[in-house]
Chains A and B, each alone.
Chain A
Amino acid sequence: MGESRHVSSMKVVLPGDLIMELPVKPVDTSENVFLGPGLRWKDGVVRATRPGILKKDSRNLYFIESHQKRYIPQKREFVVGTVIKNKGNSYLVDIGSHEPATISFLAFENASKKTRKDLRLGDLIYGQLLVANKDMEPELVCIDFYNRAVGMGTLPDGGLLFKVPLHVARSLVNPSNPFLLELGARLSFSIVVGFNGRVWVKAKNMADMTSVMHAVSLLECMSTEEALIKMHSVIDSVLSQCAVD
């Protein structure tokens, strides 16, 4: 992880809104502007392409924080996917994008042609996108640069997978987000959050997993502060319901 950067929200923008004029490339590199998701530079002007909040960080990186449900693959993002097809040397993995991603059977820790990784259809994979390009099908790997798994790989049986909007997934992986800390203080569980909006939870019993799912789903329609207040009553009602059943 890099150094901490200050991100400031500027305003709500709509597609087609003029953000700034950038006619020529600045000579001085300190004046460079970086354009993140939701912004496009065309004919010397920068325009928004998505509705959302325009944000800027301390090194002139502008981006739009928008609410979306459909995942568009981005290189180096961590995703949770489902194996849907065995293609001999590779597997097809559904990650929620318009094309399924491929993963080579060699792209796992300690996997070789002799000790190949066997995946079954329906297995869940937590991996990183190695190739994400609009003209090519996305490619997943479960190893890093040094052939280590670093937490990636197939997810064990007995967990619970559910989907959340992408902005919820992004806020959950933020290490300073108080929501998961508070949830972790209440229940014990392991959670894997993919940037594609798929969340995998495993806990001792189904009741705990269901209450985590309902608590996380609160973030879909309320802010973190509101969800922190509401969370305990939701968990209580799910747990009491499960105790009755």
Chain B
Amino acid sequence: MSIEQSVQLNFLSRADGSAYYCLGNTSVVASVTGPTSGRVSARHHNKCNLEVQFCPCNGQPTIEERDVECIIGECIEEILASHLHPRATILLNIQELQSEHEHQLLTASLNGAVMALMDAGVQMQGLLAAVTCCYTHAGVVIVEPTALELQESKSSLVFVLESDTANVVACYQQGRLSVAEYTAVLNRAIEAAKEVFQFYRSEMLKRYSSHGCIDGQNEADYDYDPL
């Protein structure tokens, strides 16, 4: 993947977890609050309720933003261990800061949301990575294309993939493709998703090794009360 990604975890002080995530020219801030008490009407007796709020960088949220909220919410619910917090609410706020294309924005929002959830320490069964791809008229697959390449392409797709099995959780596509073409794009997306997961891992390694607890210095004996 040629595109550069960067993240700053624990970006907001008041939220339980937050991430300032940049993917190429797209940047978002995602923040997680929860599990908290939420609206009584939205409570479930057996699982937690996930509320996603997406704010565009200018103007009020419109129907398109609600669409993005729904896609992100349904994807995140797939990995959340929601049965562990019945009657609670997890709030996920995503603020767009900069973007050039809606596909890139969806990709950055989803990756940012997953990193914010990891920062908050919300229990999850796995991880998700989103990848933008496009298939040009010349029959070339481009992973993480520029906004211009997306506009000029025959078909543009966003894949949301799961970490353990590399299964497709969601696919958002514009433009038609044959089965063979689609499979070619998917295979490239699976390869690119591995790099995203590797990025998550290196960021977490940075975060936890900075506290000097990983290289064995802190293997302290301490009293543990088994009761």
Contacts and interface: CB of A to CB of B under 8 A. Distances in A.
A15 B126 contact: yes
A14 interface: yes
A182 to B, nearest CB: 16
B36 A15 contact: no
Interface string B50-86: 0000000000000000000000000000010100111
A4 B221 contact: yes
> Most B CB atoms within 10 A — which of A99, A134, A174?
A134
B204 to A, nearest CB: 5
B222 A68 contact: no
B214 A9 contact: yes
Contacts of A47: 125
Contacts of B174: none
B14 to A, nearest CB: 9
A175 B221 CA distance: 10
The binding surface of chain A is classed by DSSP as: loop
Interface string A38-50: 1010000001011
B209 A12 contact: yes
**Could you say which of A8, A50, A70, A97 has the most chain B C-beta atoms within 10 Å of its C-beta?**
A70
Nearest to A223: B212
B216 A9 contact: yes
B214 A11 contact: yes
Contact of B87 (A57, A72, A99): A99
B123 A50 contact: yes
Interface residues of B, number: 51
B220 interface: yes
- Most chain-B CB neighbours within 10 Å: which of A2, A68, A97, A98? A98
Contacts of A50: 118, 121-124
Interface in B111-167: 118-127, 163-164
Contacts of B227: 76
Given A15-B125, A51-B121, A68-B16, A98 B224 contact: no
Contacts of B211: 222-223
A6 interface: yes
Given A9-B218, A14-B200, A47-B125, A2 B205 contact: no
Contacts of B226: 2
A42 B222 CA distance: 30
B121 A98 contact: no
Range of interface residues on A (Cβ < 8 Å): 35 or more
A14 B218 contact: no
A23 interface: no
A67 interface: yes
A57 B224 contact: yes
Contacts of A154: none
Given A1-B225, A12-B214, A99-B37, A66 B121 contact: yes
A156 to B, nearest CB: 27
Given A50-B123, A65-B213, A70-B120, A7 B81 contact: no
A3 to B, nearest CB: 8
Interface in A152-173: none
Given A11-B214, A16-B164, A67 B225 contact: no
A135 interface: yes
Interface of A: 1-9, 11-12, 14-16, 18, 38, 40, 47, 49-53, 57, 65-70, 72, 76, 97-99, 134-135, 174-176, 222-225
Minimum-distance CB pairs A-B, first 10: A16-B126, A68-B121, A223-B212, A15-B124, A49-B123, A98-B88, A1-B223, A70-B16, A98-B35, A69-B16
12 contacts: A2-B224, A7-B219, A14-B118, A15-B126, A38-B123, A49-B81, A51-B121, A52-B208, A76-B227, A98-B34, A99-B37, A99-B88
Given A134-B85, A223-B211, 6 more contacts: A6-B219, A15-B125, A40-B123, A76-B227, A98-B36, A176-B222
